Amino acid sequence: MFKKIRSVYKTRKFNVFLFFVLLALVYSMLSKITSNYTKTIVFAVKPVDIPSDQVVLDQSIDSIRLELNGYGYNLAKYYIDQPIVEISLNDLDKVKSKYQWTKQRNFSDLQEKFNESVSLISTSVNQIDFIIEQYESKNVPVELQLELNYKSGFDSFQEYKLSKDSITVTGPNSLIDTINVIETQKLVLNQIDSDINSAIWLKPSENQNVIYSEESIGFQLKVEKFTEESIKVPITIVNIDDNMKINYYPKVVSVLYRVSIKDYKAVNPMDFRVECDLNTINKDNSVLISSITKKPSNVKKSRIENNQIQYVIIE
């Protein structure tokens, strides 16, 4: 029983002690926030009211130390996050390619940004320069980054189509002058067996002051079933002298090619041209190499089954 009474007594004694500690802390805090202080606080510098046809490329300083006077509770908000002081370009003098804030001309404008409870006493700088440049625009071609893998028996026999082959790039001339091409994000398509109609995203600008007219472009690709065919094509000898006679064999070769099923009947030998160029003769052997110099636009992967042609020059 005595131990319980003693324990209660100690607990009450501790609670009284804790109460007075908390009371002292509250008093100390109230004392601080109700006292008047002069403090130097770092503010980030942000230009505003920038003309729509101009951009701020750089500024001489990014932050400024301001000496402020006020009660603690009025200054406390500046310690929660880094405060920002906005400087309107409308209030500044323009000197060539920059706007200038000077302590002599613009200090009073800065003072007006603080209410009656906080007063600005002084600043750490005498001048701030904002370097500006005019916006310009130009058209830049789009370069497609593409990887297509077709399902067996399918292919495309027409060029893909883009909704735009170029976009408008806007920004300071010093930044856009070196931009000669805009790449897309790489598009990888596998097991393709049907037409493609998709959007391809452009790689974003690396500079926030360079603006693209488009974020993406449309991509269309027609996909068809194909068949592999063979056709006999006569050989044409080129660069033969008028007084030269030549005999060669074979006179025709088999050309293998890939064509869509709907077009395979439309292909004929006259659509191809196979040539042997006498300027490429190797006198150490009696073989000419034939090559395809013309083919129809609706075939792909054409090749000669055997491109070696035996020849004899007749004296």
Q: In 3-state terms, what secondary structure has residue 251?
A: coil
Residue 55 lies in a domain: yes
The enclosing domain of 173 has a CATH number of 2.170.120
Domain boundary among 204, 222, 240: 222
Domain boundary among 86, 106, 133: 133
Domain that holds residue 114: 32-133
What mean pLDDT is predicted for residues 132-152?
93
Domain boundary among 166, 197, 222: 222
Residue 11 lies in a domain: no
Residue 23 lies in a domain: no
Residue 164 has pLDDT above 90, yes or no: yes
Q: Express each pLDDT in 48-61 by its tens digit.
A: 999 988 889 899 99
Residue 181 has pLDDT above 80, yes or no: yes
The enclosing domain of 305 has a CATH number of 2.170.120.30
Give the chain's domain count. Answer: 3
Are 218 and 257 contained in the same domain? no
H-helix segments, 122-281 = 173-176
Evaluated on CA atoms 96, 102, 107, 110, the torsion sign reads: positive
Are 287 and 194 contained in the same domain? no
CA distance 222 to 277: 37
How many other β-carbons are positioned within 10 Å of the β-carbon of residue 103? 14
CA distance 261 to 301: 15
Residue 7 has pLDDT above 70, yes or no: no
Are 177 and 251 contained in the same domain? no
Omega of the bond leading into 141 within 30 degrees of 0 (cis): no
**Confidence (pLDDT) at 296:** 95
Are 111 and 203 contained in the same domain? no
Evaluated on CA atoms 35, 39, 43, 49, the torsion sign reads: positive
Are 119 and 169 contained in the same domain? no
CA distance 101 to 88: 9
Are 36 and 129 contained in the same domain? yes
Q: Which of 172, 314, 197, 148 is nearest to 247 (CA)?
A: 314
What mean pLDDT is predicted for residues 224-249?
91
Residue 18 lies in a domain: no
